[in-house]
Chain A
Amino acid sequence: MMIRKCDIAVIGSGPGGLAAAIAAKKNGAKQVLLIERDREPGGILLQCIHNGFGVEIFKKDLPGPAYAQHFINEAQEVGVNFLLDTMILEITKDKRIFASNKTEGMLEIQAKAVILAMGCRERTRAQVRLPGARPAGVYTAGTAQRWVNVEGFMPGKKIVILGSGDIGMIMARRLTFEGAKVERVLEIMPYLSGLMRNYVQCLQDFDIPLQMQHTVKRIIGNERVEAIETVAVDNRWQEVPGSEEVIPCDTLLLSVGLVPENELSRQVGIHLDPLTAGPFVDNYFQTETKGFFAAGNVVHVYDLVDWVTGAGLRAGESAALYTNNKLQMNNKKIAIQHGQNVHHVIPQFLDIDSLSAREEQLQMRVTKPLEQPVKVQVTDGKEVIASKALPYARPGEMVTISLKDKHIDLLKKAEQLVVQIAEREE
Chain B
Amino acid sequence: MDMNLQNQQIICVACPKGCRLNIQRDGDQVLVSNQGCKRGVEYANGEMKDPRRMVATTVRIQGGRHPLLPVYTATPFPKARIKDLLASLRSVQVQAPVKEGQVILENALDTGIPILASRDM
Contacts and interface: CB of A to CB of B under 8 A. Distances in A.
Contacts of B18: 195-197, 200, 397
Nearest to B85: A177
B66 A51 contact: no
Q: Of B16, B54, B57, B82, which is in contact with the most chain A CB atoms at under 10 Å from its CB?
A: B16
Contacts of A199: 11
Interface in A59-117: 61-66, 68-69
A62 B75 CA distance: 10
A296 B115 CA distance: 31
A149 B58 contact: yes
Contact of B119 (A39, A46, A200, A303): A46
Interface string B37-75: 000000000000000011011100000011110101000
Nearest to A392: B20
- Interface residues of chain B: helix, strand, loop or mixed (majority): loop
B15 A55 contact: yes
Interface residues of A, number: 32
B11 A151 contact: no
Contacts of B10: 200
A63 B72 CA distance: 7
A197 B56 contact: no
A152 B68 contact: yes
Interface residues of B, number: 27
B106 to A, nearest CB: 19
A114 to B, nearest CB: 28
A303 B118 CA distance: 21
Given A61-B54, A200-B11, A303-B16, A150 B120 contact: no
Nearest to A201: B13
B15 A149 contact: no
B79 interface: yes
B104 to A, nearest CB: 13
Contact of B118 (A49, A52, A55, A197): A49
A37 B66 CA distance: 17
Top-10 shortest CB links A-B = A196-B18, A65-B119, A49-B70, A51-B54, A197-B13, A65-B118, A63-B118, A152-B67, A69-B100, A197-B18
Interface of A: 39-40, 42, 46, 49-52, 55, 61-66, 68-69, 149-152, 177, 195-197, 199-201, 205, 303-304, 397
